[in-house]
Structure 1
Amino acid sequence: MKKYGGFTMFSNYQEVNMFLEGRKQLGVKPGLDRVYFLLERLGNPERTIRAIHVAGTNGKGSTSTYIKEILGSGGWKVGTYTTPHITGLKGEIEIDGKQMTDTQSVRLVNRMLPAIQALDDIGNPPTAFEIKTVAAFCFLDENAEISVIETGMGGLEDATNCFIPILSIITNVGLDHQRMLGETIAAIASHKAGIIKQHVPLVLGDVTEEAASVILKKAKGLRSPVYQIFKDFTVTNVTAEHPEYTEFTFECNGLSQEAVISMAGRHQVKNAALALMAVKLLEDCFPMEWKRVLQGLQRAAITGRFEKVHDHPAVIIDAAHNPEGLAAFLQTVEYFYSDKKKRLLFAAFKDKPLQKMLSQLGNDFQSVHFTSFPHERAASAEVLQTHYPGKNSKIEKWENVIRNHLGSTGESILFITGSLYFIELVRKFFVKR
């Protein structure tokens, strides 16, 4: 670190990362006042950025990836902000699928330091997520033609909810983060609906009637036109015969397009449809040939989403980090691998509805291995096992489970799921091999 103008400046990315990690002790703080303070000191990039805002309990990452690949296929310079990422800030902000460099990250946070210090001095320190969000707005505004920004949690009081998007998307509404967002679907839907802005179109995914009534009421009050899946656009002729190749027909207002996606699971068809609807709504500002649209859609892939990271013996990872995500994961496992021998390795955060998640597992797996990983929110393997009704479970270090499987005859498939952070650790293990 070095001093500059009275402030201690960072000289490398490791120092930036340590600084942001230290801020995590501040937790989640309600309100957007700190975000607006930082943005104002940095030239109000939220006023000039052209971006899509995406909220939802599940499907945000997949939907955002489809949109990114589609727009990129059309030649547009596309920025994304998605959290969390195992590499921290530089992995959460991308332009055309490429992470920020260490140098760009250091320069960006150093530029923010006087404003951060000003808030610290008055006893209102910004959180790590707030700092990273403002950094994202600065970088994307300066380097992208269009961006896709995911909410961190909820929507209404989320740090990303500080701009007027060109389009809003709510993928779905499920029970997650109840401590912060409320105990009911209606309460959580109200938070998600916070990203709806006056006259800005909303693309709405497959939600329950309880969630829809809250969201549609908010949209009506803000005169925001709504395009809801299975009402204003739909998918038909879904054919999924292979995990890496699903066909369907996208239909909207007389348009009918046959499409293919590479991400596994029938639930991904809905995410792809949301992306196609979004691109169609933006065609006046960001015109594209449908040939390019469909090419980008098929090319889209996201690490850690039912991804095969090893073959012979097979290892498949999936970041199913809440009840709805786990249900979709289990449906995909059953659909494609019902006749195979299967083992499961599971780790999750302790603030998730673990009992509800683990009660879904049933008897599909020959053995279930519970483990933990280094993170302050990680549940212990012992706690996870107490929520599992089956008798075929073991507690083991995750590295040992993987090594034992890799040394096996290859008759069974090892599925690894749970926390996104855990899945990133596992993926790193395989990528390094």
Structure 2
Amino acid sequence: MFANLAQAEAFLTSRRHLGIKPGLHRVQQLLQACGNPERQMKSIHIAGTNGKGSTSSYLANALTYNGYKAGSFISPTPGGFLESIQVNGKWISEAEFITECDALLSTIEKMDRQDNHPSEFEIHVCIAFSYLAKHADISVIEAGMGGRGDATNVLAHPLLSIITNIGFDHQRFLGDTIEEIAAEKAGIIKAGAPVISAVTQAGARNVIENQAQAAAVPITWIEAKDADRLQINPQMQGAHQRVNAALAAEACQLLQEMGISLELDKVREAINQVQLPGRFELVEKEPVIILDGAHNAEGMAAFIETVKQTYRDNKIEILFSAFQDKPFAQMIQQLQEIATDITMTTFDHLRAADVVTLSESYPSVEVTADWQEWIKQLYEDDKTDTVYFVTGSLHFIYQVRKYIVQNRKMW
């Protein structure tokens, strides 16, 4: 039993050394121990390389505006475990999180003794599903990685399956070609659940279409121009956000056709109001500091296009960090297209690339081990012609965001 939240969180984070463990048998064993809540949930399952967080937030907000208790499972988030599990935007409470952890503890210990160790993420999924099954009418569930072997893929009967896009990420687990990665993402497609996707590559589309045909479900393809057709205009900037918003709006139209009562005017209003931390977020006006979690090459391309559209006349200084399994040399090369100056750094996470690795990957770019000093210096420099961007891993972005919010009054 856990006496407090700190103990429960420490127990979960102590399992990070187990790493990413694709496959469903462990999470199924855990879920069985808490009454198979995944079978009781009405859910919408979202996979994709980028855009899952934005799309799920648009969709959950639209459901909330229409009077539903809209559950969400989100990862990562600035607020960690509690923020990742929400109903109508309200986090799971500390007491409820501890209760859900306690309910799983004996099963986890039994599995550990059998050398069948459930990972941090698998336990996290079970906590989320158990809570959401009790408290939400419809839950929007983000896959963690891939789809087919992701712990969230125990959802056998989702209402809808959404695949945001496909890019090169987690190749060690998902495959080395777009088609192989698409096959993993398409693993969330189930019989009875129509598919909506914004995937653009022909090979990936073919894979997804074949999977949809095998499951005998229709598929709707979404592009940025569909935002106009669906009459939505999201606050979050960039063509990629118009795509994400259109995915959510199309999902609401399909839900309406399935008999779920939704007012489309409320859907549009809800989607247009969403603003997420770390998605081209203006976190400071003097100096101008913008945070964006462009955590892979595809996300970086979308970020760069948005910078070009909005800050083409400014000097651009960038602080960048990424996980060690990301193509950071390629991402730095992409950033050089827009940047006046780039600084690479590391941050507090087991998977973060260290300064030596970063420096070796791109020797001509400055590296600092102290990103906090870089942030403090911005306030002292007082450059009115410069826009500062912090980009890369969302985990890094959230650490920087917390640091700025906590310390801005002192500078």
- With structure 2 as the length reference, what TM-score do the two structures score? 0.95
Q: How does 1:113-262 map to 2 (within 5 A)?
A: 113-163=105-155, 164-230=157-223, 235=225, 248-250=227-229, 257-262=230-235
1:351 corresponding residue in structure 2: 325
Q: Is 1:314–1:410's contact at 8 Å kept on the other side of the alignment?
A: no
**What SS does the aligned partner of 1:161 have?**
helix
Q: How many angstroms apart in 2 are the aligned matches of 1:421 and 1:54?
A: 20
Amino acid at match of 1:196: I
**What SS does the aligned partner of 1:148 have?**
strand
Is 2:240 aligned against 1:267? yes
Q: How many angstroms apart in 2 are the aligned matches of 1:417 and 1:385?
A: 17
**What SS does the aligned partner of 1:359 have?**
helix
Q: How many angstroms apart in 2 are the aligned matches of 1:213 and 1:62?
A: 25
Is 2:347 aligned against 1:377? no
Amino acid at match of 1:150: E
Shift in Å at residue 145 of structure 1? Answer: 0.6
**What SS does the aligned partner of 1:175 have?**
coil
Shift in Å at residue 126 of structure 1? Answer: 0.8
Cα distance change on mapping 1:153 and 1:67 into 2, 3 Å: same
Choose between structure 1 and 2: higher helix proportion.
2
1:276 corresponding residue in structure 2: 249
2:274 corresponding residue in structure 1: 300
Shift in Å at residue 406 of structure 1? Answer: 1.3
1:15 corresponding residue in structure 2: 7
Amino acid at match of 1:64: S
**What SS does the aligned partner of 2:154 have?**
coil
**What SS does the aligned partner of 2:50 have?**
coil
Cα distance change on mapping 1:363 and 1:223 into 2, 3 Å: closer
Shift in Å at residue 285 of structure 1? Answer: 3.4
Shift in Å at residue 360 of structure 1? Answer: 1.0
Please tell me the root mean square deviation across aligned C-alpha atoms, in Å: 1.5
Residue 307 of structure 2: which of 333, 339, 356 is its match?
333
Shift in Å at residue 146 of structure 1? Answer: 0.6
Amino acid at match of 1:276: A
Q: How many angstroms apart in 1 are the aligned matches of 2:232 and 2:350?
A: 42
**What SS does the aligned partner of 1:368 have?**
strand
Measured against aligned partners, the alpha-carbon deviations of 1:367-390 in whole angstroms (never above 9, x if no partner) come to: 11111112111112332233337x
Q: How many angstroms apart in 1 are the aligned matches of 2:115 and 2:362?
A: 44
Measured against aligned partners, the alpha-carbon deviations of 1:387-426 in whole angstroms (never above 9, x if no partner) come to: 337x463435111111111122232111000111100001
Is 2:387 aligned against 1:408? no
**What SS does the aligned partner of 2:193 have?**
coil
Identity %: 41
Shift in Å at residue 331 of structure 1? Answer: 0.8
Q: How many angstroms apart in 2 are the aligned matches of 1:286 and 1:209?
A: 33
Q: Is 1:358–1:387's contact at 8 Å kept on the other side of the alignment?
A: no
Residue 39 of structure 2: which of 43, 47, 54 is its match?
47
1:417 corresponding residue in structure 2: 391
Unaligned 5+ runs, structure 1: 1-8, 237-247, 251-256
Q: Is 1:345–1:368's contact at 8 Å kept on the other side of the alignment?
A: yes
2:94 corresponding residue in structure 1: 102
Q: Is 2:316–2:387's contact at 8 Å kept on the other side of the alignment?
A: yes
Measured against aligned partners, the alpha-carbon deviations of 1:50-102 in whole angstroms (never above 9, x if no partner) come to: 01000000010111111011111111111100112354321211111111111
Choose between structure 1 and 2: higher strand proportion.
1
Unaligned 5+ runs, structure 2: none
Q: How many angstroms apart in 2 are the aligned matches of 1:258 and 1:184?
A: 35
**What SS does the aligned partner of 2:15 have?**
helix
Residue 317 of structure 1: which of 285, 291, 294 is its match?
291
Higher deviation after alignment, 349-358 or 297-306:
349-358
Q: How does 1:380-395 map to 2 (within 5 A)?
A: 380-388=354-362, 391=364, 393-395=366-368
- With structure 1 as the length reference, what TM-score do the two structures score? 0.90
Q: Is 2:359–2:365's contact at 8 Å kept on the other side of the alignment?
A: no
Q: Would you say how many aligned residue pairs link Structure 1 and Structure 2?
A: 404
Q: Is 1:152–1:160's contact at 8 Å kept on the other side of the alignment?
A: yes
Q: How many angstroms apart in 2 are the aligned matches of 1:382 and 1:285?
A: 56
Is 2:3 aligned against 1:24? no
